[in-house]
Amino acid sequence: MSAQEPQDALVIFTPSGKRGRIAIGTPVLQAARQLGVDLDSVCGGRGICSKCQVAPGYGEFAKHGVSVAPDALSPRNAVEDRYDRVRGLKEGRRLGCQARIMGDVVLDVPPESQVHRQVIRKSATERVMQMDPATRSYYVEIAQPDMHDPTGDFQRLQAALEKQWQISGLQADLQILRELQPVLRKGNWTVTCAIHHDHAGPPRLTAIWPGYHDAPLLGLAIDLGSTTIAGHLVDLTDGHVLASSGLMNPQIRFGEDLMGRVSYAMMNPGGDIAMTDAVRDALATLASALATEAGADPAAIVEAVVVCNPVMHHLLLGIDPVELGQAPFALATCDSLSLGAAEIGLNTIAPAARAYLMPLIAGHVGADAAAVALSEAPEARDALSLVVDVGTNAEILLGNRKGVLACSSPTGPAFEGAQISSGQRAAPGAIERLEIDPATREPRFRVIGCDLWSDDPGFAAAAPAITGICGSGIIEAVAEMRMSGLIDASGLIGSAEQTGTPRCQPMGRTHDYVIHDAPASGGPRISVTQGDIRAIQLAKSALYAGARLLMDEIGVDRVDRVVLAGAFGAHISPKHAMVLGMIPDVPLDAVTSAGNAAGTGARMALCSVAARRAIETQVRRITKIETAIEPRFQEHFVAANALPHATDPFPELAKIVTLPDVSFNTGGSGGEGTRRRRRG
């Protein structure tokens, strides 16, 4: 900036508060650049894109010590008039590339004119997300070919980008080089380029359109789970989610859980390739479905971020996951990867789109856990946070400002309603909430698809056919059975005589508790069996043991807060989870749900290069604990089998719930609950 001269004006930008002396006659866009103000431009000041809009303020600004005269900016010019006529310019707005500084002025940069605008996440934590996308649009004018100065079209595009946008060393894959010549000619040597430039590599041309292309660039955030694949289509200018969708992971046919898929790869030559093909097809289908749902052009999707566990990661990349099936669980690579999206099967979007795979934490703790760490940022708090993402495996993070630890624990699919006699996935007709009257031991419940409780008038007419019980329903059912004295601390269901309810019916050497039985209507008999209780005990013991192992590691008996992540976490009732002893004892209001935190982390990485940098650094700092080789895990697992726990006290739980002191052990079954589930 030049020293103060008579022909300089004081220019103040809000909301940044950046200010400085600018030579009279300087365009506002140039002044913004001189002062380091974040003012967008796609057309490079040609009056085409309107991204550079500012709102000048006139009059006295005591706060800034400046008085702005009506002629502080040059009068509207022909370019602005034409833009206003054709596209409409909001009242009071000016195009920053056209308006010139003529005197002291205060200029507000509205959020939509900021490249690095802040977006408030609509989540429990309400943290601010900074837009800092890797891919941005640039309008550029290219020299026409000249026989006397023979250069390639791409080299002239490179030169134009260097000169007009200071982007040097542009690279382009073959897919985009094939498109280049017709697009340049169609645009009469003007084009809009989508250029990907992240923290890891050179700038790359990922899409190109003739002339000025106004549509926003789009990105995909994909949470690739063992059971389901969830995707969000995101506007890369403002982080807005345009469409969300999900589908089942087609690899399920090769193996229900992760180890099932690893063994399929081990035992079937080419099995890994079949699984790779299946998941890539699914990603391509999901991308098309999201574009259709949003009414968007799939060619506008220029980037994808994928988070997944290590086995999914390797299979997606076409790497045989066999090493992940046995100690020492070596990963082929754990760093983040920046690839061509087509290389991982995303061939229904822009052909030269890029894909970013988040780093993996360890052999059993994947990029999905890294995404949860990015979204929940336990390292940013003083409070000791336990973050659990419950799925077929539970990913567990424990930490605060002093450090973060991570492990994965093999809970199995019981929490998702699988391996439960009346279990089903969360879908209309599934029991999702359940209460048992402690006096009568009669149940009342709610099913997905109906807001009424089963004992409300009109329930029978309004509710869909009752088909089973989903993950949150089985957790509430088992916890309510414990609270109403139908099962004892060891998990044993009492008989009708012991419990005083005919709903406890003999089934072989054990008992069932019948929740719903309507043979007249042909509906299924829905009950909780002794086997169901054992499956839930195995799952919750694995979860609790993983958490305890991390707590041991830093030498604490308590945590300050618990965050339940994952789609399932959003539906778990904290009280019931604590009655079961799924999570350590904390005040109920210290248990929060983070929704799909892995998906949120994927979106954050999609919208921000800084977020990618942050998680790559954080992942290196996280202490990894391997549950499979920790003898103490087994000890914790056995002790955690009781409801809520054999030895650990639950004083906060005792303040709100008194668990009946019953015992139904007459020498019958019950021992199998201590058997350890295999990882999966």
Q: What Å distances lie between residue 211 and 90, 177, 184, 264, 366, CA to CA?
A: 24, 17, 8, 51, 42
Q: Is 43 in the site for ligand FES (CB under 6 A)?
A: yes
Q: Is 473 in the site for ligand FES (CB under 6 A)?
A: no
> Which residue lies nearer to ligand FES by CB, 190 or 226?
190
Q: Is 145 in the site for ligand FES (CB under 6 A)?
A: no
Closest CA to 528 of 438, 447, 431: 431
Among 10, 28, 49, 101, binds ligand FES (CB under 6 A): 49
Q: Is 37 in the site for ligand FES (CB under 6 A)?
A: no
> Which residue lies nearer to ligand FES by CB, 109 or 172?
109
Closest CA to 50 of 19, 82, 73, 26: 82
Q: Is 106 in the site for ligand FES (CB under 6 A)?
A: no
Q: Considering the complex, what minimum distance in angstroms separates the CB of residue 43 from ligand FES?
A: 4
Q: Considering the complex, what minimum distance in angstroms separates the CB of residue 209 from ligand FES?
A: 16
* DSSP strand pairing (337-340 vs 128-130): unpaired
> Which residue lies nearer to ligand FES by CB, 79 or 638?
79
Looking at residues 50 to 69 of the shown chain, list those that interact with ligand FES (rule: CB under 6 A). Answer: 50-52
Q: Is 573 in the site for ligand FES (CB under 6 A)?
A: no
Q: Is 301 in the site for ligand FES (CB under 6 A)?
A: no
Looking at residues 476 to 515 of the shown chain, list those that interact with ligand FES (rule: CB under 6 A). Answer: none
> Which residue lies nearer to ligand FES by CB, 45 or 670?
45
Q: Considering the complex, what minimum distance in angstroms separates the CB of residue 20 from ligand FES?
A: 20
| Helix, coil or strand: residue 512 | strand
> Which residue lies nearer to ligand FES by CB, 10 or 42?
42
Stretch that binds ligand FES, among 61-69, 93-101, 128-136, 623-631 (CB under 6 A): 93-101
Looking at residues 7 to 36 of the shown chain, list those that interact with ligand FES (rule: CB under 6 A). Answer: 29
> Which residue lies nearer to ligand FES by CB, 58 or 212?
212
> Where would I find the H helices in 210-348?
258-267, 271-294, 310-317
Give 543's strand partners: none
> Which residue lies nearer to ligand FES by CB, 96 or 599?
96
Amino acid at 43: C
Q: Is 48 in the site for ligand FES (CB under 6 A)?
A: yes
Q: Is 193 in the site for ligand FES (CB under 6 A)?
A: no
Instruction: Determine which helix (DSSP H) or strand (DSSP E) holds 370, and give its type and residue range.
Output: helix 367-376
Amino acid at 390: V
Q: DSSP letters of 137-195? A: EEEEE-PPP-TTS---HHHHHHHHHHHHH---S-EE-HHHHHHHHHHHHHTTTEEEEEE
Q: Considering the complex, what minimum distance in angstroms separates the CB of residue 111 from ligand FES?
A: 17
Q: Is 47 in the site for ligand FES (CB under 6 A)?
A: yes
Q: Considering the complex, what minimum distance in angstroms separates the CB of residue 136 from ligand FES?
A: 13
Q: DSSP letters of 202-214? A: --EEEEEEES---
Q: Considering the complex, what minimum distance in angstroms separates the CB of residue 95 from ligand FES?
A: 5
For 323, half-sphere exposure in the C-beta direction (CA atoms, 13 angstrom radius) is: 13
- Could you tell me if 314 and 262 are in contact, meaning their C-beta atoms sit under 8 angstroms apart? no
> Which residue lies nearer to ligand FES by CB, 83 or 154?
83
Per-residue tokens: 406: 């991570």
Task: Return the residue nearest ligand FES (CB atom).
Answer: 97
Q: Is 41 in the site for ligand FES (CB under 6 A)?
A: yes
Stretch that binds ligand FES, among 48-56, 185-193, 236-244, 425-433 (CB under 6 A): 48-56
Per-residue tokens: 88: 């409409």
Q: Is 109 in the site for ligand FES (CB under 6 A)?
A: no
| Helix, coil or strand: residue 462 | helix
| Helix, coil or strand: residue 463 | coil
Number of residues in contact with ligand FES under rule CB under 6 A: 14
Amino acid at 554: I
**In angstroms, rounded to a whole number, what is the distance separating the alpha carbons of residues 610 and 594?**
22
Q: Is 140 in the site for ligand FES (CB under 6 A)?
A: no
Q: Considering the complex, what minimum distance in angstroms separates the CB of residue 21 from ligand FES?
A: 23
Q: Is 95 in the site for ligand FES (CB under 6 A)?
A: yes
Stretch that binds ligand FES, among 94-102, 169-177, 442-450, 507-515 (CB under 6 A): 94-102
Sign of CA dihedral 72, 74, 79, 81: positive
Instruction: Determine which helix (DSSP H) or strand (DSSP E) holds 610, and give its type and residue range.
Output: helix 609-621
Among 9, 32, 45, 301, binds ligand FES (CB under 6 A): 45
> Which residue lies nearer to ligand FES by CB, 138 or 664?
138
| Helix, coil or strand: residue 646 | coil
Instruction: Determine which helix (DSSP H) or strand (DSSP E) holds 472, and give its type and residue range.
Output: helix 471-483
> Which residue lies nearer to ligand FES by CB, 51 or 503?
51
Q: Considering the complex, what minimum distance in angstroms separates the CB of residue 240 from ligand FES?
A: 21
Q: Phi and psi dihedrals of 268, rounded to 5?
A: -120, 110
Stretch that binds ligand FES, among 95-103, 214-222, 476-484, 627-635 (CB under 6 A): 95-103
E strands present in 34-176: 53-57, 59-61, 66-68, 94-95, 105-108, 118-120, 128-130, 135-141, 171-172
Q: Considering the complex, what minimum distance in angstroms separates the CB of residue 583 from ligand FES?
A: 52
E strands present in 225-365: 228-235, 241-248, 301-308, 337-340, 354-357
How many Å from the N-terminal Cα to the C-terminal Cα in the chain?
Answer: 62
Q: Which residues contact 454 (CB under 8 A, 6 or more apart)?
A: 443, 444, 445, 446, 447, 463, 516
Residue ranges in contact with ligand FES by CB under 6 A: 29, 41, 43, 45-52, 95-97
